[in-house]
Structure 1
Amino acid sequence: MPWTWRFEKADGTETTTGLQVEEFSTQGDAESWIGEAWRDLKEEGIDQVVLLDDGATVYGPMSLHAE
């Protein structure tokens, strides 16, 4: 089952990124990637992300902005 991220604007509208987006074989790999990429995603105007496991929401939306 591939783990992926969905990228969203603050209102929940799905958006895209210019970064190389990949599928991950584990949740840990996906979370490690977001830990490294979140600043770049935020700079592109992405406000929040949702973690998906084979298309099913695992958690999110998770804001990329400080509270």
Structure 2
Amino acid sequence: MTWSWQYENSAGEATGTSEAFDQRSEAETWIGTSFEDLLEDGVEQVRLLQDGTEVYGPMSLRPE
């Protein structure tokens, strides 16, 4: 079982994916430390995927 993030632009179009993580907690920790870099690269929102199936999202990377 692997976990990854699907990157999306402001229109909700997929623009890429993160590396694969073995644990959900690893994926969630990674997004918490990487979101600012992703925003600088044009990623506006993400979806968490488990083996390619959406678990949740879209989740905005912008602070509320």
TM-score under structure 1 normalisation?
Answer: 0.88
| RMSD between superposed Cα atoms in Å | 1.3
Q: For 1:16, what is the secondary structure of its paired residue?
A: strand
The equivalent residue for 1:60 is: 57
Stretches of structure 1 that go unaligned for 5 or more consecutive residues are none
Matches within 5 A, 1:1-16: 1-16=1-16
TM-score under structure 2 normalisation?
Answer: 0.92
Larger fraction in strand = 2
Matched residue count: 64
The equivalent residue for 1:24 is: 21
Q: Given the alignment, which residue of 33, 38, 41 partners 1:36?
A: 33
1:1-58 CA-partner distances (Å, limit 9, x unpaired): 11010000121101137xxx42101110000000110000001110000000001101
Question: Percent of aligned pairs with the same residue?
Answer: 50
Stretches of structure 2 that go unaligned for 5 or more consecutive residues are none
